[in-house]
Every structure is written in C-alpha cells, then in structure tokens.
Chains A and B, each alone.
Chain A
Amino acid sequence: MSKQINVALIGNPNTGKTSVFNALTGLNQKVGNYPGITVEKKEGVCKLPRGVKAHIIDLPGTYSLNASSLDESVVIELLLNKNDKDYPDVAVVVSDVENLKRNLLIFTQIKDLEIPTILVINMSDRMKYKGISLDIDYLEKQLQTKIALISTRKNIGIDRLKELITNYRDLSVTPCLDPSEIDKPYFDALRKAFPNQLIYKLWLVITQDVNFGKTDRNEIDAIASFKTKTSGDLKRLQQRETIKRYQFINNVLKKGKTIDVTQAKDLRSKLDRILTHKVWGYVIFFFILLTIFQAIYDWSSVPMDLIDGAFASLSEWVKTTLPSGAFTNLLAEGIISGLGGIVIFIPQIAFLFLFISVLEESGYMSRVVFLMDNIMKRFGLSGKSVVPLISGTACAIPAIMATRNIESWKERLITILVTPFTTCSARLPVYLIIISLVIPEGRFLGLGYQALTLMLLYLLGFVSAVVSAYILNKILKIKSKTFFVVEMPNYKLPLFKNVALTVIEKTKSFVFGAGKIILAISIVLWFLASYGPGDNFNNAEEIIKTENVANNLSDDELQQKIASHKLEHSFIGIAGHAIEPAIRPLGYDWKIGIAIVSSFAAREVFVGTLATIYSVGNDDEDTIKNRMAKEVNPVLGGPLFTLASGISLLLFYAFAMQCMSTLAVVKRETNSWKWPVWQLVIMTAIAYITALIAFQLLK
C-alpha cells in the first residue's frame, strides 16, 4: 500500500522550521491558504527511504498550543481534529539548540495529545561556539521520544530525520505531564464526565474554544457545562500548566544539557551594542533603507526596460503575423500588453522581497521593530508596522498581508488602513511622466528639481500615512489590549536557499494573484475602448475621411485620426465625457478622465490608457510625453499640462485609492467590506479636495 505518511512540522518562530521544511521538500512544495482564512498553508512532499513518501505540512510558528492569533489557532485546530485529512501520523517538533528550554514547552504539549512525536534539535553547528553539550540518550529516555540532532546550515542529520519519520510507528505516545496536577478536583470531574476522551484534549478544547469538526459537535455542547470557570480562572490554570511544564523541562535539562560558559562566544551582544544603539542604530537603519530604495529604483530599471521592450515587440509581431481582426487586436492590445503590465513589476517585487527576507532571516528586522516602536506608538501604530510601511513602497498587497503578526487588533487595523498611502511602485510610472512634463529641469543645491519632486512625493506618502494613523487612533473606538512582545532572535547568516524560495514564492503569488486582476481589467478596458454605440463610432472611418478630404493627409495620420475619433465615441470615451464636469475644476479634460476611471482598477494603467487615447502606437514614454505636451486645454486654451494641472494630478494619484487588488486584500484581512469601502471613499475624497485646491491656487 502506498499510503503517504502525514507529517506536521511544529515549532517556535525562529527555530529554522522553514529551513527544515525546505531541506525535506526542496522545490516540491506549494503555498496556499487555509480555507476561509488568510493564513498561509505550506505543504510539500518528501521522498523517504524504501520508496515511502511523506506529505509534509509546515504549520505556522507558535510558542504553545494556547492560541492567541489566527495563525496559531490553525495549529491547534489541526491537532484536535482527527478527521482532518492533514491530521498528522507523526509530529516533528523543531527546536533550536540555544533555546531548547523554551522550545520544549510546545513539545510536551504535543506529546500529551498522544501523537507520535519526533524532536528535532536544529542549529547543532552552533553548539561548539556556545559551549553546549547534550546527552541525547538521556534526553530521549526522559522525553520518551527520538531526537534528530541536525544542522540545516551544514546539511547534517537530515537523513536521520527521514529515517525516524519512516519508522514513526516505533515512537512512544506516553504523555509528559498528568493534567490533573494543574487542578485536581476540576480535572477529576472532567475525567468522570468523559471517560473515553483524552483529558488533555478536552482541556485544550475548553481553553481554546476551537472548532472540533462536525462529528464531535455533541461533545462540545456537553463540554460547555464545564466552562464554569471565568476566563480569568482559566488563564490562571493555563499559567499553572505552563509553570508545571517548565518544572518538568528544567528537571530534564538539568542533566541533559550542559553549558560551558568559558567556551561561549557572544556575537549577539557585540552586534546589538551597535545595531540597537540610540544613535548608530538609526543611522544604520537609514542607510539600509537607502540601499533598498536604490535597488528598487535603479538596479531594477535594466530588467524592466528589457521586459517592456520584449512585450512591445511581441505585440508588434502578433499584429504583423496573425491575420488582422478582432481576435488579433484583443491578443496584441488587450492580452499581451496586459501581461506586460504584470511582468514589468517582477524585478521590483523580487528585489524588495530579497531585502526583506535577508533582513528577516538575519534577525535584524526584530531590531528595527525594537528601535521604531516608541516612535510608531505615538501615532497609534506598532513597531511591527514598520515592515508593512516599508513594503508598501513596492506594493500595498504584500504589505497589508505582512501586518498579521501585529498582536493588537487596533494597531493592525490602523496599519492596514494607512499603508496604501505609501508610494507604491504602480504610482511610479504616473509620477515619472507627469514630472517630466511639468517640472522644469533646473537644479537646486546640486539636486534636480525633478528628482526632488519625486522625493517629496515619497515623503508625502509616508507623512500622510503617519498623520492619518494619528487621526484614526483618536477616532477609532476599538478597545484592544496593546501587547507588544517581540522575540529578539540570534543573528545568523541568511541561508541562500531560504531567501531564494521566499523571493520565488512571493513573486509567484503576486503574478498569479494581483496579475489575474490586472490582466482581466486590461481586457475589459481594451473592449470598452474598442467598441462603442451608435453611428459616430461605427462609421468613424467615413466621417474622418470626409472631414479630411481637403487636408491631404498621409495614410498614417489618417489612421491615427480615425483611431482617436473611435476612442472618443467608444464606451470608455463616453464615460470620460460623462465625468468631465466633475474633474474640470481639477484641470483635467475628458481624456485624463478616461485614464483616471480606468486606473481605479490599477494605477499603472494610467500611462497605457493615455497611450491608447492619444493613439500613439506604443508605450514608449517619450512619444506619449511629446503628444501630451501638445494637448490644449479646452476651456482655458494654452497647454493642458501646466504646472497647476500637473501638480493637481500628482496629488490626486498620491492620495486616491486606485487599486482594486488592495481593496480586495483589505476586505480579506479585515473580514468585512466596511473598511475597504471607507478607505475608498475617504482616500478619494482627500485626493479630490487636495487636487482641487492645488489647481485653483496655482492656475
């Protein structure tokens, strides 16, 4: 029988659990979501000796089975539900040799659920630096388990782990602790009421209130009668349980683990002295940020240009090779340019995640959180909001997902709501083209006006995020305890494999997640711009030809005029005209109106839409720019793009919530339409008002 062995990887954060997962599964892994919630689900397949296969699931990192977050409750729900298809045949608890004491807490809890359990002691290569020695035989006997002493960094001990998984049936399932010790009368009563149930499991159900699955419903109702204790009482019992467990662990480790302090070298305290220093800590952080920005905007421009060029020629090639018709146009102008709009962001997103994962893997990110908490707290944010706000400069979508580890719901919600203010990479093409149109090329103190404007726009993004956080903190009446507990892990060199896998996986999830939406919108846009109602659209060719009979135009010029006329009378052109009265006070005409309407789906569509509207054949910025420079304001006369209308447009894009994907993610993360709708309404209102004021003052 070729049944797979179900393996669950469990452990504290920062123990190298993911490295173990990567070592076991390599590229045979997939990342998804648990149904209905946004907790990441990582699973993979591992080939074991003798042709056996294991299905491995990497559960979210947790300190214990007492869940305090959604991520953690996933772990408990799985371990309590024997009917789940992922219910483990064997649990592998990953621990780190330096934090063994703390890591063993969850190990004893899982043992008490009578699941066969293997203990992995990771980072064994650090033992000699720290002067640690372990008595493995003694530990195995006391903990009644099998131990794999491994180092994913040095690739030691993985085979032993595979061997242990293969022979999981030999593992003992004797528990570590008798729960009755926690509170004898209470647990005796519980045992009497449910003689057939594992008492520790019942206790977990009572404290967690987790969903037991349908078959066990009746039991849960019956258990309700045992919730006679107040939540304060339960918490006290949980505390007593934790103390009992630590007593057990301390006893075991007293003989099983010895540390020769004279052998220990302390890299941590030396690095911490600089990296968390009151002054140097911030200086170093600032320089790291500068490097990241440099990478995202400079280094990625080369691959981005290549991608842009490749897609433009592909589209051209399709048009010239395939027989002309609606399908070819859809392919060349809708689908291919839509795909190009997704692929072009890959270099920036890959760079961003490269840096973020290196900073996280190395342990530095926790120091940043530590340094920034005090400042962020004043604005109703948490030190942990720094990561989303930095990530937001690439894309708000992964940034909002990165808020999950903020414990306080209020701080997390505020972070989610203000993150879209930070200048994401989709705003960049819009900024670049408008800046080059309306801002003169002069220099101030050696810095170009144009570069300064761009920098100011980034600054504006951060300032508005922080200021709105401050206001939201005053307005929102959410009572939630603001706990802030950050583990400060050891510094370590990031593992190339882990970093590479993170970058690949995050980029993939952007391409297939956000990408789908961008592609769909591009196709819809193409359709709306290519078809229209009535004679004015359908007879465009004749109308233009009769109009220009006397003008002696070249064929190309005539074709461009026809395309432009068609667009004006297409569905999207009609929409543009319809909103013109609303945007005229901001200094825009109907063509910009179309671009704004279409970029409510995604900002980066702006430039592409203008390209279509001005019937310039390709996305090459210079051509669009020249064309835009010639546009005349229908009301005031003179050029349409002046300093006033340009600044107004920049401000509009800085504030407006123009990203459907972000709204979708906010809905998912806050589990309600209320917040994304508020976000859309308020951000758009701010955008409109500031753009209006700017134009009216400057014109």
Chain B
Amino acid sequence: MQYTIAHLKRGERGVITDVSSKNIPLKLLEMGCLPGNFVELIQFAPFQDPMYLNINGSHVAIRKETASHILIEKITHE
C-alpha cells in the first residue's frame, strides 16, 4: 500500500518519497516538503484535520486533503 502523510498517526515519522506538484502549493515545497526530507506528525485537530507536522524542521499545519498528495515511506521504530 502507498503511504501518504495522511496515514500518519501521532508521533509517527516518515521520509517523503514523492509529491504530486499539481496538488501541492509551491509554498509548502519551499518550506521543505520535498523528496528525501523527513516528516513527523505532531498533533491532529479534532476529526484528524488539519494536521500539525514537522517537515524538515519546519512546523506547519496543512489539511488532510493536501497531506494525502504527499507520498512517504514510514519509518518504523527500530
């Protein structure tokens, strides 16, 4: 199954593998949301939307809809 940021649970981390640039604002890319960078889910608002993330050291909140366009590889706890 293809994981996206929208699949993350609280405290889980992943590495971004691909972003569909059509559905992602450039601003998010500029904040570091690019392939190869790590992402961590810090907090959900109620109904799990929006999502409060740490992407490559930048703290941002985005809607789940946007998050579902960012593919990741989950980092399982070693």
Chain A residues with CB under 8 Å of chain B are 63-64, 66, 68, 98-99, 101-102, 105, 232, 235-236, 238-239, 242-243, 246, 268-269, 272, 276, 278, 366, 369-371, 373-374, 377, 383, 407, 481-489
Contact = CB atoms under 8 A, between A and B. Distances in A.
Interface in B17-56: 19, 21-22, 25-32, 34-35, 42-43, 45-47, 49-50, 52, 56
Contacts of A487: 31, 58-60
Contacts of B9: none
Interface of B: 19, 21-22, 25-32, 34-35, 42-43, 45-47, 49-50, 52, 56-63, 66
A489 B59 contact: yes
Given A242-B26, A485-B31, A486-B62, 15 more contacts: A63-B27, A63-B31, A99-B58, A102-B58, A235-B22, A269-B42, A383-B50, A482-B63, A484-B66, A485-B66, A486-B60, A486-B61, A487-B59, A487-B60, A488-B61
Contacts of B63: 373, 377, 482, 484
Contact of A374 (B43, B50, B57, B62): B50
Q: What are the 5 closest A-B residue pairs judged by CB atoms, nearest first?
A: A488-B59, A483-B25, A486-B61, A63-B30, A64-B30
Nearest to A407: B25
A366 B62 CA distance: 12
B31 A239 contact: no
Nearest to B24: A483
A242 B34 contact: yes
Given A483-B66, A484-B50, A485-B31, A101 B56 contact: yes
Contacts of A269: 42
Given A373-B45, A373-B50, A407-B25, A66 B62 contact: no
A66 B29 CA distance: 11
A68 B57 contact: no
Contacts of B42: 269, 272
A37 B61 CA distance: 29
A32 B30 CA distance: 29
B23 to A, nearest CB: 8
Contacts of B59: 268, 487-489
Given A238-B26, A484-B66, A276 B45 contact: yes
Contacts of A488: 52, 59-61
Given A246-B32, A276-B52, A101 B25 contact: no
A377 B62 CA distance: 13
Nearest to A232: B22
Contacts of B58: 99, 102, 487
Contact of B61 (A63, A232, A366, A482): A366
Nearest to B62: A485
